[in-house]
């Protein structure tokens, strides 16, 4: 192990690049920090900025755009440790990151061993995973948040637990797609959710992937990969290797055989080595001890219906029938600027097209705020919210015009929340900043505790009012 006085050994190209920055590159990073001073904090160190600079080849206009959109995305969706503490009972200070029960038992993902340079290796047994059950167990928004939570927790864990003298910034991923059926590959709700996850990793957490191996890939996977790779930039694609059943020769160039479990062809242990930081689960009853694993390495397979996402509160839901070739609007009047329009809906048996339109109170042409698009609302409950920029009617639009013979039934709820005032936010709370705590009033916190989270993150669409919405 390296001594305390010895220089750090980096396990990634990003770290090595950081150690060998040229004067020009340092100047460019200083310029970026000045440009983005209004959105950066003390938590955003030079290594953080370097990842974005590398992702856009130090083309500073593109780097600034990428960085601002990534930070805005985090703010819009409240992807902060404060929200993770509430939702997942995370304890960042003590490195405890409980995982949701369904992800822990059926997500088919484990941290197991390290590569030749000391970076953690993450195994994802996609072929054993019940993709359809996962989508029935959470909404698309839930899936996106859990991906963000895991990647941010992984970064926190690996940078704070690396052996002395080693700086660990990246991870090696191995995706085992054996037993992955064509039905699972083409299950569109999960395809879209995975697209969202890919977008988040490469645009909000750039240069965190060290190497990706897809092993035991059947011939049909090449068709799926052709669909996926159009959403992946070239730098990320170059890190991906698609391998068949004879993968050991290629994988062991990066990962020693003793770090690969025996049942996957290596010489390492089959016993689970999930770090303590990720071993606990979180449920409605709070944080509980690790769930027992029936399989010595991973528990996967069909997800029991008891894990399926609970039906929304029936008392708050109304039912709407939409005929074949028909479109129905559900209006909500807003009288105060800054009010928050909130909705959730699910369809019965079949998908439906959904959008949001604004109708001025004095009449005139309507304005499309969220483009109408088909949504798999029959698989998982959809939810969203919109901050009103002017008074008028905000209408949920359910469009079934594409269905020539079949009517649809939708259950929905729609409400409006009045804007916050300074009186609402006078209470002081503690906010963690750069490792220390400071007191701020609720109205000064960013993001706002009531800030909306668009429900689908790809791609970006800019509307006339300037409000950014992420859709697929």
pLDDT attached to residue 273: 60
| pLDDT mean over 192-204 | 84
Say whether pLDDT at 450 is over 80.
Answer: no
Helices (H) and strands (E) in the chain, counts: 13, 22
Alpha carbon of residue 15 to chain centroid: 24
Range of lowest pLDDT (101-115, 143-157, 378-392, 442-456): 442-456
Range of lowest pLDDT (91-105, 227-241, 415-429): 415-429
- The dihedral through the CA atoms of 24, 25, 26, 30 has a sign that is positive
Higher pLDDT, 265 or 43: 265
pLDDT attached to residue 456: 35
> pLDDT for 34-91, tens place per residue?
999 999 988 888 889 999 999 999 999 999 999 999 998 888 777 888 888 888 888 8
Helix, coil or strand: residue 460? strand
- Other Cβ atoms less than 10 A from the Cβ of 370: the count is 21
What kind and span of H or E run contains 215? strand 209-215
Phi first, then psi, for residue 21 (nearest 5°) are -60, 140
Distance in angstroms (rounded) separating the CA atoms of residues 115 and 469? 39
- For every residue of 243-274, DSSP letters joined together read --S--HHHHTTTS-GGGSBGGGTSSB--S---
pLDDT attached to residue 1: 36
0.75 exceeded by pTM: no
Distance in angstroms (rounded) separating the CA atoms of residues 66 and 56? 8
Name the β-bridge partners of 341.
386, 416
> pLDDT for 401-433, tens place per residue?
999 999 999 999 999 988 866 555 444 444 343
- For every residue of 40-84, DSSP letters joined together read --TT--HHHHHHHHHHTTT-HHHHHHHHHHHHHHHHHTT-SHHHH
Say whether pLDDT at 367 is over 60.
Answer: yes
Say whether pLDDT at 119 is over 90.
Answer: no
Range of lowest pLDDT (77-81, 284-288, 329-333, 468-472): 468-472
Residues 6+ apart with CB under 8 A from 470: 73, 76, 454, 456, 457, 458, 459, 460, 461
pLDDT attached to residue 64: 95
Strand spans (E) along 78-197: 99-100, 109-114, 120-124, 166-167, 171-176
Within 13 A of 50's CA, how many CA atoms are on the CB side? 19
For residue 183, give the DSSP letter.
H
């Amino acid at each position: 192990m390296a001594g305390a006085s010895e220089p750090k050994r980096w396990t990634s190209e990003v770290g090595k690049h950081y150690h060998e920055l040229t004067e020009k590159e340092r100047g460019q990073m200083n310029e970026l920090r000045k440009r983005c001073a209004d959105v950066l904090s003390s938590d955003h160190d030079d290594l953080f900025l370097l990842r974005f600079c590398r992702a856009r080849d130090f083309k500073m206009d593109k780097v600034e755009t990428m960085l601002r959109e990534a930070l805005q995305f985090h703010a819009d969706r409240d992807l902060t440790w404060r929200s993770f503490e509430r939702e997942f009972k995370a304890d960042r200070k003590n490195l405890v990151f409980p995982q949701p029960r369904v992800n822990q038992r059926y997500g088919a993902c484990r941290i197991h061993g390290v590569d030749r340079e000391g970076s953690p290796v993450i195994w994802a047994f996609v072929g054993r995973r019940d993709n359809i059950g996962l989508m029935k167990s959470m909404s698309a928004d839930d899936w996106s948040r859990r991906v963000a939570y895991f990647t941010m927790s992984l970064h926190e864990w690996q940078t704070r637990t690396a052996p002395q003298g080693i700086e660990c910034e990246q991870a090696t991923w191995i995706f085992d797609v054996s037993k992955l059926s064509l039905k699972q590959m083409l299950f569109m709700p999960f395809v879209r959710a995975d697209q969202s996850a890919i977008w988040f990793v490469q645009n909000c957490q750039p240069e965190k992937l060290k190497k990706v191996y897809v092993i035991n890939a059947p011939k049909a996977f090449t068709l799926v990969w052709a669909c996926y790779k159009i959403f992946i930039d070239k730098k990320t694609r170059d890190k991906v290797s698609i391998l068949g059943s004879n993968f050991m020769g290629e994988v062991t160039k990066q990962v020693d055989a003793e770090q690969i479990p025996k049942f996957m062809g290596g010489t390492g242990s089959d016993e689970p080595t999930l770090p303590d930081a990720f071993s606990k689960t979180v449920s409605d009853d709070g944080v509980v001890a690790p769930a027992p694993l029936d399989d010595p390495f991973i528990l996967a397979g069909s997800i029991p219906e008891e894990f399926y996402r609970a039906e929304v509160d029936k008392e708050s839901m109304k039912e709407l029938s939409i005929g074949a070739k028909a479109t129905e609007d559900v209006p909500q009047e807003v009288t105060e600027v800054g009010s928050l329009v909130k909705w959730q809906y699910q369809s019965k048996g079949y998908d439906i097209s959904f959008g949001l339109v604004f109708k001025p109170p004095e009449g005139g042409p309507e304005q499309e705020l969220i483009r109408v698009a088909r949504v798999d609302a029959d698989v998982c409950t959809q939810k969203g919210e919109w901050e009103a920029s002017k008074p008028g009617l905000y209408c949920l639009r359910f469009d079934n015009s594409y269905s020539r013979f079949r009517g649809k039934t939708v259950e929905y709820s729609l409400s409006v929340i009045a804007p916050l005032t300074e009186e609402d936010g006078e209470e002081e709370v503690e906010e963690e900043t750069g490792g220390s705590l400071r007191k701020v009033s609720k109205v000064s916190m960013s993001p706002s505790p009531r800030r909306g989270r668009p429900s689908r993150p790809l791609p970006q669409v800019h509307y006339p009012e300037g409000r950014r919405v992420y859709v697929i």
